[in-house]
Structure 1
Amino acid sequence: MNAEELAEIVENLRVLGSDVADVEVKKAQGGLPKSLRETLSAFSNTRGGVVILGLDEGDRFMPARLADPAKLASDLASLCSSEIEPAIRPYIQIHPFEGAQLVVAEVPEIPREQKPCYYKGAGLTKGAYTRLHDGDRQLSSYEVQMMLSARGQPKEDSEPVAGVGIEALDSHLVAATMLRLRSSRPYSYRDLSVADILRRTKVLIPRPDGSGEDVSVGGLLALGSYPQEHFPQLMLTFVHYPTVSGPAEESGVRFLDSVAIEGPIPVMVRDALAAIRRNMSRRSITTGAGRQDIWEYPETALREAITNALVHRDLSAASRGAQVQVEMFPDRLVIRNAGGLYGPVTLENLGEEGATSSRNAALLRVLEDVPIPGEDRTVCENRGSGIRAMLISLRRSGMTAPKFDDRISSFVVTFPNHSLLNDDVVRWIGSLGEAGLTDGQCMALGLMHDGTVIDNASYRKLTGLDSRKVTAELQDLVGRELVEQVGTGRWARYRLAERLATGGATDRPSRMAPADRREEILDALGTTTASRAELAARTGLSDQTVRRWLTMLRREGLIEATETSTASKHTKYRRTYPSPDPKLF
């Protein structure tokens, strides 16, 4: 980390007024704080982070004047190597900053096969932490177990169900799966008997004593006639609540619909979709071809989310008492399952090409060829394309991407119940008086119209654009003074400009467009030359806004750059004046 990056971090902390998820500040005037052990564990177990010793959060992150920065840095290195298991090796530096010295440690995330990282003095079960928002939270014993199991490939789906044989399978599902396997993979399955295919796919597991075979947990869930006879809670529940907070206390109505959905996974996927469809209504959105009636939630997105929850849930003994839960509220649909993301898949790369991993590899392999009853499709493709299909279907329906929440012990998908480009939003965007907005910018404005703050990553998921294009479109919205940027660099967040954020959805102020900035720029330029940075200082406008109007003035021939390149904010500009008319002389 260099001095410029440190200054950027501190400036963002001062703007936000608190620590952030990947930055922890400690005053540390009395030496290493005891809570630092928790932070080191949390950063190592999550996505890494930066520890800054010598800033006072209570005094607007001003320097706290460390007595002996060199000793503090040495003590920190010793703590990381001798008191943390596994030992971590943060990059520790002493930085001069605003007349004082700070100790800065960049803590990396440790590899999955080494987690959980914990403080030795408290032990594995009490000394392991995770980072949640801007604080450190102790891992539960179940979360510790989840991290330990993630060191390798979990095998719970291949465990035999003692005393349960082939008779527990649904003959129709088995027959349909055998037909598909022999057709799609003739080399591996064409000449095998049904029993041999079930053994090869780990649906049947031979007993160690050779006395017979048991059905595996995954085989029972994929092809069983009634898996809940043996695992009562490996099911799915659907509840439709009347209010955004759940039951309606005044009327006493607890729910509008409640269904316990059982059977093998193919049946649960089918019946869960039927229950949601029964409780959904249609809405209208505005498209390029006019108005279109769509369901509140695209079926493709729902199918992928439900399938993922059932297929990728944790099947260890500790979680077999938890159902997959689907909850419908007036403003959202929530799908929750036990077990967080597994393997190299993270919230940051979720849905990106190549980002795929399966906790229940044997189960997923079988379901790739198990058809959903009454349909031509199988339960899943096993190509890592489910999240992408979900995001594409939402995008086509003019809806925002779902919120994904990974908590190690659980994974939650929340679909907001709104269309970004409904009639009210389209009218509002039209009232802004801004020509040339892209589809992505319109969708982002529709999202921010509801008070949502977005960043580069959420814009990418919303639009499907690459990072460079996203940055350009967001900066253009800032330049148009429609959006305000809070923070810089990786901490940059974008929200609707304050002048647009007042009033309700349908009673916005009539004067929506910002003032024409041409005269302000020209007046600030005067008869001198000035750079973009100087013009921003003279006018009080943002760099992006000055850049936008300089571009327009150049196109109109009213100003010119004194250099060939205009990429730098330090490039000088001057006004152009028409040549004198020779008839006047």
Structure 2
Amino acid sequence: MKIETLIQQPEGRDLEFKEILPSKADLNKTIVAFANDSGGILLLGIKDVPRAIVGIDESDLFKLEESISASIIDSCSPTILPDISFLRVGDKYLLKIKIAKGNNPPYHLKSKGIEAGTYIRVGSSNRLANQELIEELNRKRNNISFDSLPVYAKALETVNLDTLEKHFDEKAKEKLTPTILKKLNLIYQEHGNNYPTNALILLSDDILKEQIFPYSKIECAKFKGDIPGDFIDQKTIDGPLSIQAEQAYQFVLRHISKNSEFEGVYRKDRWEYPIVALREVIRNAIIHRDYALSGKDIKIAIFDTKIEITSPGNLLPTVDFNEMDSGQSDIRNRILAPIFKKLGIIEQWGNGLQLIANELKDYPEIKFQWSQPGMSFRISFIKSQIKSEKTHVHEINEERLRTTANDYERLRTIANDYEQLSLEQKKILLFLIENEKITRREVTNLIAVRNTKAYEILNAMVKTELITMFKEGRNSYYILKNS
């Protein structure tokens, strides 16, 4: 990247600007944090706010280079070798310190030791690593993934694998035998004994999953407005990992609209948001989240004008969401990922980001945005002011079909499975609560559909025993089943 472009970038995980050389302690914290993560660049001679090139006196460059090199080599352990260079922009000089991703973490300040001197990057700041993160850095050095670690608290033969066995039988067309478990590295052998791995416990129905990994769940919520607060609906998905993606995906579908239009005699449906992209992001959130981080779960938040999906753990340093068409692939959970592929949850390595990028081209009104708040990775699908023609045609009908938090409470009293109701069904049920009965013609006006579509919706509601049909001569009407 050219220096003119680089200095226009925001500070972040791998980039920091300083007007003057920081203190020795602050400098080395940044260097250690870069080495523990994906590497980074520190540029001296640039004022951050407001961004401006102030430069460094040319006569000081070599003296600064020697001072910085000596400080890093003397203060950081294991040894970090900085790549220091001078840059000229116009008539001003900058000093660039480039740190490569370290292959021997955890890097730390010698004077503080590993526990008190290991730093990581969180956004554009340096943070002291806790014991969990230090252990993760040790695993990274030894090329060990967290999901491969053994769980000694329970004998393998007592682990409840009912759901996983059923899925393997249905999707992989094979029995989940001890031989298969061993082949998939889901068991750990030690001194002649077999133990479940973290991956197997996460995939299990066992009560031990709740005890060891209470946050291996997805919290889903539909909020009223555009900030967390009043919710219309919520759901906790805490079963085996193999079923979480589908359940979360269905929750999202229940709370976004699907529009229809006709091209000749053919009907074409279009969702409010790009559902293929949403599905891929949900899958990625589950398979790539950091299960070693305690106290953090996946969150799916649906607002009036955006959907946010937040997963614990920073983006892997080898993946760049700014290059989504390049077929990138990297794996944090090396045991879980092949299982997901075997069960059909992951279709093909490296094509997830391409699927997202391709579908977003058909949704110019949706802004795709990613960020890394704290030790998390967040994807946002945001409605912009640009509306496609298809969306604009059905905008009024969508607004008419929206339900409120008060509606939610009323419907819960007459529908056992509120989450399965479509927006049209909710509107009809609310009408019946207030008016006792409804005709097919009234339904066509209420939800703005044709007569045949109204018949299909009403007939389905009769079959599911939500409503009952009565006839008066040649006319018919519908009432609530239990009224």
Structure 1 and Structure 2 fold alike (TM over 0.5): yes
The structure-2 alpha-carbon separation of the partners of 1:125 and 1:105, relative to structure 1 and needing over 3 Å to count, comes to farther
Residue 126 of structure 2: which of 127, 137, 141 is its match?
A: 137
The structure-2 alpha-carbon separation of the partners of 1:199 and 1:166, relative to structure 1 and needing over 3 Å to count, comes to same
Using the alignment, how far apart are the partners of 1:340 and 1:321 within structure 2? Answer: 15
8 A Cα contact 1:239 1:259, kept in partner: yes
8 A Cα contact 2:61 2:95, kept in partner: no
Using the alignment, how far apart are the partners of 2:52 and 2:261 within structure 1? Answer: 46
8 A Cα contact 1:42 1:136, kept in partner: no
Matched, 1:315 2:291: yes
- One-letter amino acid of the counterpart of residue 104, structure 2: Q
Deviations 1:448-473 (A, max 9, x none): xxxxxxxxxxxxxxxxxxxxxxxxxx
Secondary structure at the residue paired with 1:345? Answer: coil
Larger Rg over CA atoms: 1
Residue 350 of structure 2: which of 380, 384, 390 is its match?
A: 384
Deviations 1:215-237 (A, max 9, x none): 43322333536664444332211
Residue 92 of structure 1: which of 84, 87, 110 is its match?
A: 84
8 A Cα contact 1:284 1:291, kept in partner: yes
Residue 279 of structure 1: which of 255, 259, 280 is its match?
A: 255
- One-letter amino acid of the counterpart of residue 276, structure 1: V
Structure with more of its chain in strand, by fraction:
2
Matched, 1:62 2:28: no
Query: Which residue in 2 is equivalent to 1:411?
Result: 377
Query: Which residue in 2 is equivalent to 1:336?
Result: 310
Query: Which residue in 2 is equivalent to 1:305?
Result: 281
Using the alignment, how far apart are the partners of 1:173 and 1:393 within structure 2? Answer: 31
Q: TM-score, normalised by structure 2?
A: 0.66
Using the alignment, how far apart are the partners of 2:75 and 2:290 within structure 1? Answer: 31
The structure-2 alpha-carbon separation of the partners of 1:366 and 1:193, relative to structure 1 and needing over 3 Å to count, comes to closer
The structure-2 alpha-carbon separation of the partners of 1:105 and 1:285, relative to structure 1 and needing over 3 Å to count, comes to farther
8 A Cα contact 1:365 1:382, kept in partner: no
8 A Cα contact 1:54 1:66, kept in partner: no
Matched, 1:162 2:128: no
Matched, 1:220 2:196: no
Secondary structure at the residue paired with 1:77? Answer: helix
Residue 361 of structure 1: which of 331, 334, 337 is its match?
A: 334
8 A Cα contact 2:311 2:376, kept in partner: yes
8 A Cα contact 2:272 2:391, kept in partner: no
The structure-2 alpha-carbon separation of the partners of 1:86 and 1:60, relative to structure 1 and needing over 3 Å to count, comes to same
The structure-2 alpha-carbon separation of the partners of 1:282 and 1:410, relative to structure 1 and needing over 3 Å to count, comes to same
Matched, 1:240 2:206: no
Using the alignment, how far apart are the partners of 1:380 and 1:153 within structure 2? Answer: 22
Residue 198 of structure 1: which of 176, 181, 184 is its match?
A: 181
- One-letter amino acid of the counterpart of residue 268, structure 1: Q
Query: Which residue in 1 is equivalent to 2:69?
Result: 77
Using the alignment, how far apart are the partners of 1:221 and 1:97 within structure 2? Answer: 53
Deviations 1:422-469 (A, max 9, x none): 249999xxxxxxxxxxxxxxxxxxxxxxxxxxxxxxxxxxxxxxxxxx
Matched, 1:51 2:43: yes
The structure-2 alpha-carbon separation of the partners of 1:98 and 1:82, relative to structure 1 and needing over 3 Å to count, comes to same
Using the alignment, how far apart are the partners of 2:375 and 2:51 within structure 1? Answer: 37
- One-letter amino acid of the counterpart of residue 307, structure 2: L
Q: Deviation of residue 150 (structure 1)?
A: 2.6
Secondary structure at the residue paired with 2:221? Answer: strand
Q: Deviation of residue 307 (structure 1)?
A: 1.8
The structure-2 alpha-carbon separation of the partners of 1:61 and 1:207, relative to structure 1 and needing over 3 Å to count, comes to closer
Using the alignment, how far apart are the partners of 1:94 and 1:369 within structure 2? Answer: 51
Query: Which residue in 2 is equivalent to 1:500?
Result: none
- One-letter amino acid of the counterpart of residue 296, structure 1: E
Q: TM-score, normalised by structure 1?
A: 0.56
Q: Deviation of residue 293 (structure 1)?
A: 4.7
8 A Cα contact 1:32 1:76, kept in partner: no
8 A Cα contact 2:146 2:198, kept in partner: no
Using the alignment, how far apart are the partners of 1:196 and 1:308 within structure 2? Answer: 28
Matched, 1:35 2:26: yes
Matched, 1:24 2:17: yes
Q: Deviation of residue 365 (structure 1)?
A: 1.6
Using the alignment, how far apart are the partners of 1:357 and 1:106 within structure 2? Answer: 27
8 A Cα contact 1:55 1:64, kept in partner: no
Secondary structure at the residue paired with 2:291? Answer: coil
- Greater shift, 69-78 or 234-243, is seen at 69-78
Secondary structure at the residue paired with 1:359? Answer: coil
Q: Deviation of residue 107 (structure 1)?
A: 0.9
- One-letter amino acid of the counterpart of residue 256, structure 1: I
The structure-2 alpha-carbon separation of the partners of 1:58 and 1:421, relative to structure 1 and needing over 3 Å to count, comes to closer
Query: Which residue in 2 is equivalent to 1:296?
Result: 272
Query: Which residue in 1 is equivalent to 2:479?
Result: none
Using the alignment, how far apart are the partners of 1:120 and 1:200 within structure 2? Answer: 42
8 A Cα contact 1:161 1:217, kept in partner: no
Number of equivalent positions = 387
Greater relative contact order, per chain length (Cα 8 Å cut-off, separation 6+): 2
Secondary structure at the residue paired with 1:327? Answer: strand
Deviations 1:302-357 (A, max 9, x none): 222222222222222xx24432221112222122222223463344555622x212
- One-letter amino acid of the counterpart of residue 237, structure 2: I
Secondary structure at the residue paired with 1:334? Answer: strand
Secondary structure at the residue paired with 2:17? Answer: strand
The structure-2 alpha-carbon separation of the partners of 1:178 and 1:200, relative to structure 1 and needing over 3 Å to count, comes to farther
Deviations 1:100-156 (A, max 9, x none): 7x4523413224x234544434444554555566x4322432444433333313143
The structure-2 alpha-carbon separation of the partners of 1:224 and 1:175, relative to structure 1 and needing over 3 Å to count, comes to same
- One-letter amino acid of the counterpart of residue 357, structure 1: D
Using the alignment, how far apart are the partners of 1:273 and 1:359 within structure 2? Answer: 22
Q: What is the identity percentage for the equivalent residue pairs of Structure 1 and Structure 2? A: 19
Matched, 1:109 2:100: yes
Secondary structure at the residue paired with 2:28? Answer: helix
- One-letter amino acid of the counterpart of residue 254, structure 2: R
Using the alignment, how far apart are the partners of 1:109 and 1:396 within structure 2? Answer: 38
Secondary structure at the residue paired with 2:302? Answer: strand
User: RMSD value over aligned CA atoms?
Assistant: 4.2
